[in-house]
Amino acid sequence: MSLRISRRRATADKERFVDVEWERSLARTYPVAIRIEGWDRDGFLRDVAAVISENQVNLLSLSAVANPDKTATVNATLQVTSVEQLSRVLAKLEGVRDVYTVHRDGR
């Protein structure tokens, strides 16, 4: 998509035209809350975030808690474009070392 913008110069009455183009994203996105639980260890949160990033899913929010029983709970809100994309990232998260459950939050 192109747009022609007209701008007047302060020193003259001549018009200058600049062609401008930008990408137009038509894909709808949906926020989805998920919960990830696993055994707490160094790098656990980094590994979870890396899987989300590698699957080209935007992370809207994230909170993590290290529990006294040596487990970790991660609550995140992902921005996905489809159920297929969500299923793919959830399956990949299940494969992260020391993760024992991944599910949509509130279900």
> Residue 47: pLDDT above 60?
yes
Q: Which residues pair with 78 in a beta bridge?
A: 32, 59
Q: Domain extents for the chain? A: 30-104
Q: Which residues pair with 33 in a beta bridge?
A: 77
Q: Which residues pair with 2 in a beta bridge?
A: 21
Q: Superfamily for 30-104?
A: ACT domain (3.30.70.260)
- The 10s digit of each residue's pLDDT in 81-105 is 999 999 999 999 999 999 999 999 8
| Residues 44/38, Cβ–Cβ less than 8 Å | yes
Three-state secondary structure call for residue 13? coil
Of 49, 31, 33, residue with least CA distance to 105: 33
Which is higher by pLDDT, 71 or 5? Answer: 71
Q: Which two tokens stand for residue 6?
A: 């007209």
> Residue 107: pLDDT above 60?
no
pTM confidence score? 0.72
| Residues 91/36, Cβ–Cβ less than 8 Å | no
